[in-house]
């Protein structure tokens, strides 16, 4: 990255000063940066974030005799995995070049240098780097329909459209879902899509605050309201004035406080503890819980009037196990994130690890996956994450045979059509949109022993 010019940066790792001058003159259309050893090269990669690097593999060995050129390739790709490295070798260095390609280098060029020929390789490398970066950007846009939400699942994408519709309004909504499904991510998305996005998003976990403190946390208190109240203190509701208040785990709110919350939701005024003045508050309220509020209403542990007040719109979030295609998608997202955070070179998951991720039930949902992937990135002993790294049992493998999947679905559809038509052939065929002869052929194909009538 270069802040002084719009020209793309080309990093050249070469200790021959004469060749440096030749390459500087030839590549004048680029902002050329030079490094003469591995340490300088790594520092230049961090500073300039060059998309393309020309590196001489013939750098002198380090003190322990290790080939400095190979270590340089490895270090650069660890720092910047998407950088295109073009290695240069001598006439007898073909095997070394192949080794560097196997380590992740983009291409190689054999000395003596013909600048025009090298120029074509460099241009292509910049072009490929640009295309790959654009492809990654488009994939992230497609897989991240809302800020912070990664999904390809149809039901989740439908939920995203729902959030986009309700965000501009002031309607109170309740997000339902198991722990770890991303309810706060959804709440923040509503806030960020709303006209209140520039104001504060204030969250409080009703289950994490002791019962004797939650009222003062929400509504604030006046000086002297109770022992230890040395000064006037604003509550979460007032703090969120103009913005969004997120009441997480509202199902754990004490019953005696629910009436006071209901009054606030209806009238949008509060009174601080120890105070007598009504304070108007303009705040959007989003609630979330992992509990069955309707069942709690039936048993008397949650107020029915509050339930209907916070449930103007409910948004149920499916657990990770029910989100088609999202398990490995999220796993790779977390892998990239944590590999970057912990400065690790992790290419992917082994096929066995992918199967294990798909087969695992993920009772802790996205939060559990996040923790497991973080652990795996830290514990991995190679560039491929294994089942052991994840702490998951190896699976026997998933059946992704399309013919088998199609046959299973077809057979289930035939049985359902027959059931719906009371085993009437004409009715079942009509439901499936096929002819009677075709329907008879399918019954014969799947050897279904069914008593039918026309």
Among 248, 260, 267, 280, which Cα is nearest to 216's? 260
pLDDT of res. 416: 80
- pLDDT beyond 60 at 66: no
The upper half-sphere exposure of residue 52, i.e. CA atoms within 13 Å in the direction of its Cβ, equals: 26
**Number of residues assigned to the chain:** 454
Task: Give the pLDDT confidence of 233-279 residue by residue, as tens digits.
Answer: 999 999 999 999 999 999 999 998 999 999 999 999 999 999 889 99
C-beta atoms surrounding 308 within 10 Å: 11
pLDDT of res. 65: 54
Find the mean pLDDT for residues 292-303. Answer: 95
Q: Which helix (H) or strand (E) holds 32?
A: strand 31-35
pLDDT of res. 26: 87
DSSP assignment string, 140-181: HHHH-SBTTB----HHHHHHHHHHHHHTTS---EEEE--TTS
Find the mean pLDDT for residues 102-116. Answer: 86
Find the mean pLDDT for residues 312-329. Answer: 92
pLDDT of res. 186: 93
The answer to whether 144 touches 192, Cβ cutoff 8 Å, is no
- pLDDT beyond 70 at 68: yes
- pLDDT beyond 80 at 120: yes
pLDDT of res. 374: 96
pLDDT of res. 410: 85
CA 446, chain centre distance (Å): 42
Task: Give the pLDDT confidence of 329-369 residue by residue, as tens digits.
Answer: 899 999 999 998 998 888 888 888 988 999 999 999 999 99
Is residue 398 very low, low, confident or very high in pLDDT (cuts 50, 70, 90)? low
For the chain, which domains are there?
A: 9-141 (3.40.50.2300), 154-316 (3.40.50.300), 321-390 (1.10.8.60), 402-445 (1.10.10)
User: Any idea what the Cα angle at residue 81 is, between residues 77 and 87, rounded to 5°?
Assistant: 45
pLDDT of res. 6: 75
Least confident of 113-117, 175-179, 308-312, 376-380: 113-117
- pLDDT beyond 70 at 3: no
Most confident of 129-138, 166-175, 404-413: 166-175
Task: Give the pLDDT confidence of 202-213 residue by residue, as tens digits.
Answer: 999 999 999 889
Task: Give the pLDDT confidence of 127-166 residue by residue, as tens digits.
Answer: 998 888 877 666 655 445 577 788 888 889 899 899 999 9
Cα(450)–Cα(454) distance, rounded to whole angstroms? 13
Is residue 217 very low, low, confident or very high in pLDDT (cuts 50, 70, 90)? very high
Cα(355)–Cα(146) distance, rounded to whole angstroms? 28
pLDDT of res. 319: 96
Is residue 4 very low, low, confident or very high in pLDDT (cuts 50, 70, 90)? very low
- pLDDT beyond 70 at 2: no
- pLDDT beyond 70 at 446: yes
Is residue 308 very low, low, confident or very high in pLDDT (cuts 50, 70, 90)? very high
Between 244 and 412, name the one with better pLDDT: 244
pLDDT of res. 96: 84
pLDDT of res. 103: 87
Mean pLDDT, the chain, rounded, equals 87
pLDDT of res. 116: 80
User: Any idea what the Cα angle at residue 102 is, between residues 96 and 104, rounded to 5°?
Assistant: 110
Is residue 431 very low, low, confident or very high in pLDDT (cuts 50, 70, 90)? confident
Find the mean pLDDT for residues 298-323. Answer: 94
pLDDT of res. 396: 59
């Amino acid at each position: 990255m270069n802040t002084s010019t719009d020209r793309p940066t080309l990093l050249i790792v070469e200790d021959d000063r004469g060749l440096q001058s030749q390459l500087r003159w030839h590549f004048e259309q680029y902002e050329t940066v030079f490094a003469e050893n591995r340490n300088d090269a790594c520092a230049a990669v961090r500073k300039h974030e060059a998309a393309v690097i020309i590196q001489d593999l013939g750098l002198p060995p380090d003190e322990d005799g290790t080939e400095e050129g190979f270590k340089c390739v490895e270090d650069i790709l660890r720092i910047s995995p998407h950088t295109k490295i073009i290695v240069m070798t001598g006439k007898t260095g073909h095997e070394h070049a192949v080794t560097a390609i196997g380590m992740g280098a983009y291409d190689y060029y054999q000395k003596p240098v013909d600048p025009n020929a090298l120029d074509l390789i460099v241009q292509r490398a910049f072009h490929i780097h640009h295309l790959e970066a654009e492809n990654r950007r488009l994939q992230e846009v497609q897989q991240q329909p809302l800020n912070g939400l990664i999904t390809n699942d149809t039901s989740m994408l439908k939920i995203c459209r729902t959030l986009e519709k309700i965000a501009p309004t002031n309607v109170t909504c309740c997000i339902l879902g198991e722990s770890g499904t991303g309810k706060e991510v959804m709440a923040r998305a509503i806030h960020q899509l709303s006209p209140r996005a520039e104001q504060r998003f204030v969250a409080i976990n009703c289950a994490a605050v002791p019962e004797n403190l939650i009222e003062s946390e929400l509504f604030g208190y006046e000086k002297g309201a109770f022992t230890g109240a040395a000064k006037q203190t604003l509550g979460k509701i007032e703090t969120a004035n103009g913005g969004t208040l997120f009441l997480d785990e509202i199902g754990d709110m004490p019953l005696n406080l629910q009436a006071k919350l209901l009054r606030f939701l209806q009238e949008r005024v509060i009174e601080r503890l120890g105070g007598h003045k009504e304070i108007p508050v303009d705040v959007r309220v989003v609630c979330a819980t992992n509990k069955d509020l309707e069942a709690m209403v039936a048993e008397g542990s949650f107020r029915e009037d509050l339930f209907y007040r916070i449930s103007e719109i409910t948004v149920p979030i499916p657990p990770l196990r029910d989100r088609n295609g999202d398990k490995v998608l999220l796993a790779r997202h977390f892998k990239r994130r944590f590999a970057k955070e912990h400065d690790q070179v992790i290419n992917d998951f082994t096929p066995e690890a992918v199967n294990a991720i798909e087969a695992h039930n993920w009772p802790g949902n996205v939060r559990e996956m996040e923790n497991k992937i973080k652990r795996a990135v830290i514990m991995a002993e190679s560039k491929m994450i294994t089942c052991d790294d994840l702490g998951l049992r190896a699976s026997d493998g998933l059946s992704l045979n399309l013919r088998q999947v199609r046959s299973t679905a077809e057979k289930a559809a035939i049985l359902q059509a027959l059931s719906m038509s009371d085993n009437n052939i004409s009715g079942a065929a009509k439901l499936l949109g096929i002819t009677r002869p075709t329907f008879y052929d399918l019954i014969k194909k799947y050897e279904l022993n069914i008593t039918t009538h026309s």
